Amino acid sequence: MTRFILASGSPRRRELFALFNLPFDIASADVDETPHDGEAPDRMVARLSQAKASAVARHLATPDGAVIIAADTTVSLDGVPLGKPVDRADARRMLRALHGRTHQVHTALTLLDTRTGNSLTDVATTDVPMREYGDDEIAAYIASGDPLDKAGAYAIQHNGFHPVAEMRGCFANVMGLPLCHLARALRAFGLKSPADIPVACQSHIGYHCPVFADILASITVAGDPHAPAAGIGMPAYHTFEGANP
């Protein structure tokens, strides 16, 4: 039986990956997440997801190997990445900048088979239109403490804030783990989930996804699949949704 390791301490990613009904272990990766000068957000998450997978692989002590699944997510506005806020004032600044505008969420997935050395990186990008929430809503949300550990200072699934106006792309991507992209990547590794991922994802999130069929049917994606991803040498793929080019 294939051993799966989720290289993330995120409760949201653990919750979403559990929908695959595959046994897995958790192994958090400690990597430097500082952006490189002039680095595009999608290239940054590709580099970091690869670094996380490699970091976990270096400390893996099992002769049978495992498939490591690593992810990294960032929010970008006007092409500028927004990481996690450093404090409440920074969270307020981010939420005000995002207010009433459409930004992008980029999540990179890296799969690394430690037995064969095969690896694959896929970057999903989703447009996210924010509603015109008020300063009082921002203050109440920041007081909850929820935005302080989130890229872009928000969680799309937060029951009290509801920051997004209307979603037309991959909701799970904005939560930090695009499940259909992951199912497609597992399929490329010859692996299959016992769960029907589109059904499980939509039921769990309570969202009617308009893009899952296109994602799962896609074989070739935007960009050069043979181009080395930032500094690691693993191939990087890129999937855009909705109104993205």
Nearest by Cα to 142 from 153, 131, 158: 153
Contacts of 217 (CB under 8 A, 6+ apart): none
Beta bridge partners of 76: 81, 104
Catalytic residue among 72, 135, 214, 224, which? 72
Q: Is the dihedral of CA 1, 113, 30, 62 positive or negative?
A: positive
Query: Which tokens go with 16?
Result: 């979403």
72 is catalytic: yes
Rounded Cα distance between 111 and 97, Å, is 34
Q: How far is CA 129 from the centre of its chain?
A: 17
SS3 content of the chain, % helix, strand, coil (to 5): 35, 20, 45
- For residue 20, what is the DSSP state? G
Q: Active-site residue numbers? A: 72
